[in-house]
A and B are shown apart, each in its own frame.
Chain A
Amino acid sequence: QVQLQESGPGLVKPPQTLSLTCTVSGGSISSGVYYLSWLRQHPGKGLEWIGYISYSGSTYYNPSLKSRFTISVDTSKNQFSLRLSSVTAADTAVYYCARTRIAVASSYFDYWGQGTLVTVSS
């Protein structure tokens, strides 16, 4: 059973950089079929996809978001990470990591981490 677990600080001061890590267990992240995504959900709001990374390190980001996000992968640790620079209060949200299947036949997020609440406040 694939499991994902986010880790990182729950409180970040503006304009610091937020760093989150997602550890994947129960399966290798080195699969060509699956990608690894970060998403977020502002309090009481809907879901927003931030971007994904392949196991080889190729990334794709949501162009609707400003380019403050960086996603990286460490296959030796079965982990991938998110960095968000120059945080503001608007970045306060629950951040999720998710395994992402992208294929001609179907594309979706099949396994999710439990989510981690990040609050940006001085």
Chain B
Amino acid sequence: EIVLTQSPGTLSLSPGERATLSCRASQSVSSSSLAWYQQKPGQAPRLLIYGSSTRATGIPDRFSGSGSGTDFTLTISRLEPEDFAVYYCQQYGSSPLFTFGPGTKVDIK
């Protein structure tokens, strides 16, 4: 089973700053199988990035994804007030087919 680890657990930043979130897999993951989601309190997750670097429909270009193998990164170039949320990475392929990381909370400093 592939285990996803996200770091840091919490990222405290100010609006306008750059956020860099890490997702590390215990084994190599296909770049096409890595996605990122944003979840705000009381809401369902929202797809941000799929295929490790392709933005989903309607996602602003301040969100970008990169990486390959076991190391993947979600970058928010300039934090907007609505970006403070929890972010999850997700992989597809190895049993149990879909797994998620534990999440990184981006909160206001």
Interface set of A (CB-CB < 8 Å, partner B): 37, 46-49, 60, 62-65, 96, 101-102, 104-110, 112-115
Contact = CB atoms under 8 A, between A and B. Distances in A.
A47 B32 contact: no
Contacts of B43: 114-115
Nearest to B35: A108
Contacts of B56: 110
Q: Which of B37, B46, B50, B101 has the most CB of A within 10 A?
A: B50
A49 B46 contact: no
A46 B47 CA distance: 15
Contacts of A64: 1, 95-96
Interface stretch (B13-21, B73-81, B85-93): B85-93
Contact of B51 (A46, A102, A106): A106
Contacts of B92: 102, 107-108
Interface string B22-43: 0000000000110101000001
A109 B50 CA distance: 9
Nearest to B54: A106
B49 to A, nearest CB: 9
